[in-house]
Structure formats: structure tokens, C-alpha cells
Amino acid sequence: MERYQRQLILKGFGLEAQERLAQAKVLVIGAGGLGCPALQYLVAAGVGCVGIADHDVVELSNLQRQVLYTSADVGTLKVENAAKRLQQMNPEVKLLLYPVAVDKENILETISSYDVIFDGTDNFESRYLINDACTMLNKPLVFAAVSGFEGQLAVFNVEDELGIKTNYRDLFPVPPDAGEIPNCAENGILGVIPGIIGTMAAGEIIKLITGIGNPLINKLLHYNLLTQEQYEMNITPSNEYEPPISSAGFMNSDPENLTHSFTEIDAAQMNELRKNPSTIIIDVRERHEFPKLDSGIYQQVPISVFETFASAEIDAKNIVLICQHGIRSVAAAELLHQKYGETKKIYSLKGGISKWRSHFNHTT
């Protein structure tokens, strides 16, 4: 107990709170900018069991904010590197690793044995999926998200003193259209902002587990690093969204509510399409991004000039859009679908170049 002595002597904390932490199971989804600091403080504080779910490998561009990883970790799984460091920090904590992307098939089972879920993912698809699964199973969900110099934090599916609880769909009932809201790869992010918001999230999780203080139940906290201002708004139920009540209902629901008018494919399907002479593969990343791909195979048209490019006719019958994470390529695919409808086959590489790196011919 010497390890936890400084928090044990806190007024209102003590041995009882420490015991609650030791009994708790917390699942951190996304071991990135938000997940790293949250994991560090949860493990350091002595949460009994911590699950880490992330399918990505460490990239060099992650290191300015994902502080669990070192340069030597680049190219290897985040969950494994995170577990190695966290276990060194506190060998008393049990770590469970999920090196997979959460999806409709696995999420209910993955979250079912946890007491609190932390959403530190980086895309709306995962966020709505996690929210809907947690809402259906009535799991406390700590939500954190960042943009530029700003962050958002909330606690969902936990009742206030009046028995009222809310979830992300009460705030934003339907996801934004693909490409409407830029992600970190496109918009940029200062490392300290996920550091601050992820650390605040760990604080909320510890408050929920131990029962101290006032967690952000039915509230959305907004934080601005540039002004050091915080804005807190009260969330009330919207009644616009009814969560599914059974796992069968969940499987049949469309958590994204996105009606794709194009096809998302994997790298094998992309390489199969490449053999067809009437296929064009377009890399919509900006010119400064890495890895550089063979421009003889992957024509580069940055998303910033894509609209101009798309105003001219494209001869190919099959158009495959690719980008770093498969988000901008969706926006480009939607744009082309609006123009060509069903007269051309339009594809977006799901997960992007970072997911399928070894399947590409690169030049650097």
C-alpha cells in the first residue's frame, strides 16, 4: 500500500476508495493521444483491471502526443507497447489487450465485463458504435474528444440524483457527414490538448469508481487551451434516439446511420481492382504526407484540390480513393458518387494506407 500512500491520505479517499479502484475493470478504447495519459493515470492509481483496445501500430507522427510510445516502437502494435510500459509502471494491475478494431460484431462482448468504458477513439464511426453499445448495455461511458486546441469531455449512461441519464445521441443524434468535421490528421493537434483532456477523463473515471466529487453527469465540458476557458453545458434527453434493446436489434441497427453510396474495400480488393485496366487509384493525401507512394500506380490528387479535379471527366470505370486513415477518401468518394451516381464504381480503402501499409508500393 506504500505505492498508493499519497492518495490514501487524501481527505474523502482512503482505503475504501482504493479498494474500489482495485476491484474495478475499466476498458480504454483507443490507445492514442487521449488513451495514453488516461491509461497512465488509471494504471498508476491502481485500477484493478484495465483493458486496452486498439488495432493500430505506432507511427512516427503519433509520438508528439502519444506519450507512452518511443521512436523504437514505430511500426509495432500500440497495445503491446502500452502494456509493456504500463506493466513496468505498476505490475499490480491486470492488463487485457484487444489488438482489434471495435465493430458491430465484437463490441457488445468486449465491453460486457467492464464497469466503465472510456472512448478515446479518433473517428465518428467508432464513437457512435461505442455510445450505442454502452447505452444498450447501460455501461457508464466516459467520452473525450479533441479538435485543434479544444477538447470535449462528458459522462454518459450514469443517472443523476433525479434518475436522469443521457448519452451522445442526446447531444448529436446523427453523425456528421463524412469529411464534414476534420480529424487530427487533417486539422492538426497540439500534443498537450489530448494530454489534458485524457488526464481529465482519467479523473472522471476515478471519481465514478470511488464515488468522490461530482462527475460530469448530463454535462458536456468544453475546454479551450488557447484561452484557458471552460464552458459547461447541461444535456437533457432528446428522445430522438431509441437504443436497441437486444443484441439482435443491435446487430440489425445502423449505428452510423450513414447510407454509403459507394463501397468500402480492403487492400486485397484494391489490388484485385488494380489489375483491371479501367481502374484508377487516387491518393487524396496532401503532398507532404508519408509514406510517398509510386505515382505511376497511385495518382495523387490532394483533397484540397479534389473538387477542381473532379469537375473534369474521369475516364476510368472503377475509381478507388485512398488516404492515410480512410476518412478523407470517404469524402472524396461521396463527392464522386454525387457526380457519377451508379454509372461508375466508386471505392474507398477502409482504414487507409496506415492500416494496409505493407500492401503498397512505396517510394519512401
Find out whether 160 and 304 touch, Cβ atoms under 8 Å.
Answer: no
Diameter of the chain measured on Cα atoms:
71
Site string for another protein, 116-135 (x = CB under 8 A): ----xxxxx--x--------
Find out whether 298 and 283 touch, Cβ atoms under 8 Å.
Answer: yes
- By CB under 8 A, the count of residues binding another protein is 44
Q: Is 36 a catalytic residue?
A: no
End-to-end, the C-alpha distance of the chain in Å comes to 51
Q: Of 61, 77, 172, 241, which lies in the binding site for another protein, with binding defined by CB under 8 A? A: 172
Find out whether 24 and 47 touch, Cβ atoms under 8 Å.
Answer: yes
**Nearest approach, Cβ of 76 to another protein (angstroms)?**
20
Q: Is 323 a catalytic residue?
A: yes
Residue 255 near another protein by CB under 8 A: no
Which listed range, 233-241, 261-269, 277-285, 331-339, lies at the site for another protein (CB under 8 A)? 233-241
Q: Of 164, 233, 297, 305, which lies in the binding site for another protein, with binding defined by CB under 8 A? A: 233
* Rounded distance between C-alpha atoms, residue 321 and residue 216, angstroms: 40
Residue 155 near another protein by CB under 8 A: no
- Do you know the residue count of the chain? 364
* Residue nearer to another protein on the CB measure, 42 or 282: 42
Q: Of 46, 51, 151, 215, which lies in the binding site for another protein, with binding defined by CB under 8 A? A: 151
* Residue nearer to another protein on the CB measure, 7 or 224: 224
364 burial type by CB count under 10 A (0-12 exposed, 13-18 middle, 19+ buried): exposed
Closest CA to 91 of 52, 51, 46: 46
Placement of cell 471519481 in the chain: 207
**Nearest approach, Cβ of 220 to another protein (angstroms)?**
7
Residue 290 near another protein by CB under 8 A: no
Closest CA to 131 of 156, 112, 164: 156
| One-letter amino acid for residue 97 of the chain | L
By the criterion CB under 8 A, which residues form the site for another protein?
A: 30, 32-35, 120-124, 127, 144-148, 150-152, 170-172, 174-176, 180-184, 187, 189, 194, 220, 222, 224, 231-238
**Residues carrying an active site annotation:** 184, 323
